[in-house]
Structure 1
Amino acid sequence: MSGEELKKVGLKVTLPRLKILEILETQGEDHHLSAEDVYKILLDQGEEVGLATVYRVLTQFEQAGIVRRLNFENNISIFELDTGDNHDHLVCLKTSRVKEFVDPVIEERIKEIAKENGYELSGHSLVIYGTFNGEQ
C-alpha cells in the first residue's frame, strides 16, 4: 500500500504511518505482529516513534480497513493486513506464534453448518490453540 492509498482511506501520509505499514507488509511471519513487535522493529531501525503512536496508528489502520486486530486467548492481540481473503489461525499457547491456514474442507463444512441451522453466513472465525512442536 502506498501513500496515495492511505489518502484514499482518509489518512494523512505521515512517516510513522508509512513505516508501520511497511513493517506490516514485510516483517513478521504471515504478517502477524503485536503493537509491541512493531514498536521494537521501529526502534531497531532507529526510528523515534513512541509505543502510544504505534497503537494509535494501528487503531487508525483498523478503522480504515487496512488491518484486522485479532484477539486470542492468553491476552494475545495481533494485527494483520486485511487482504480480504478468508483464512483461519493456529495459535501456539507457549510462544504466542500465530500461523494462518486455509482448508477448503473446513470452509465447505462451515457453510453447510450455517445452512443446516438456517443461517446466512456472513463470515466466521476459527482459531485452533495448541503447542507448536516444530514439525511440519
Structure 2
Amino acid sequence: MPPRSPSPLLPLDALKRAGLAGTAAQAAVLDYLLHAEHGHYSAEEIHRRISASGERMNLSTTYRVLNQLVDAGLVASVPLGKHHSLYELNTGKAHDHLVCVVCGRVEEFSDPAFDRRRNAIAKKFGMRFVGKTLALQGVCAECTARAHPPRTRT
C-alpha cells in the first residue's frame, strides 16, 4: 500500500480516508504526531504526552492504535528490537535510520546507492519488498566522546 500523508487533513478526515473508524484514541494519537516536532517516539512517550494533556487512554490502547495507524499507512514504525519500536508520522518520503544504542538519538538518512544495493540483494534471493524499514544501530559521536574523552597534555 502506498504511504498516505495526512498532513493537509484534520486527524478525523485522515483516519476516515484511511478506512479507520476515527475513534477518539486514534484521533488523539494522530493529532499528537501531526503537531509534535518531527521525530521518532516510543509508544510509551506518546502515551505519556497524550495523558499529560488530559486525554484518558490506556497504554495498551496506545499500542493498539499505533498498530492500526501503521497498518493504514498513516504512521511508520522503526523497529529497534524484538519488542521495541519508534513511531513517526508517515510523510511518504523514503528514508532509513541511524540509532544510537546509548542515548537513543535517531538520525534519518537516504542513500540511493544503498537502496540499489538493497534491491540487488532482494533480487538475488527472489524477494520482493512490500515495505522498507532499516535501523542501523551504533554509538553516536557525542556518546563516544563522553565514554572516551580526549586526554589533555600537561
Moved more, 66-75 or 98-107: 66-75
- Asked if 1:41 corresponds to 2:49, the answer is yes
Which of 23, 27, 32 aligns to 1:18? It is: 27
Query: Which protein shows a greater Rg?
Result: 2
The 1:72–1:134 alpha-carbon spacing in structure 2 relative to 1, beyond 3 Å, is same
User: Deviation above 6 Å: which 4+ runs of structure 1?
Assistant: none
User: Which runs of 5 or more structure 1 residues have no equivalent in the other structure?
Assistant: none
Aligned pairs, how many? 133
Residue 61 of structure 1: CA displacement? 1.0
- Alignment-derived partner of residue 149 in structure 2: none
- TM-score normalised by L of structure 2: 0.70
* 1:59 partner letter: N
1:79 partnered with 2:87: yes
- The answer to whether the 8 A contact 2:79-2:135 is kept is no
Equivalent pair of 1:31/1:80 in contact (CA under 8 Å): yes
1:1-136 equivalences in 2 (<5 Å): 1=6, 2=10, 3-27=12-36, 30-73=38-81, 75-114=83-122, 117=124, 122=129, 124-134=132-142
* Per-residue deviation, 1:75: 4.5
Aligned CA distance change for structure 1 residues 64 and 114 (closer, same or farther; 3 Å) = closer
| Counterpart AA for 2:85 | S
Q: Which has the higher contact order (CA 8 A, sep 6+)?
A: 2
**Closer/same/farther in 2, CA of residues 75 and 57 from structure 1, 3 Å limit:** closer
SS at match of 1:83: coil
Note the alpha carbon deviations across 1:33-77, whole angstroms, 9 max, x for none. 111010111122122222122112112112222122222138431
- Distance change (3 Å), C-alpha of 1:73 and 1:16: closer
* Residue identity (%): 35
Give structure 2 stretches of 5+ with no counterpart.
1-5, 144-154
* Cα distance change on mapping 1:132 and 1:11 into 2, 3 Å: same
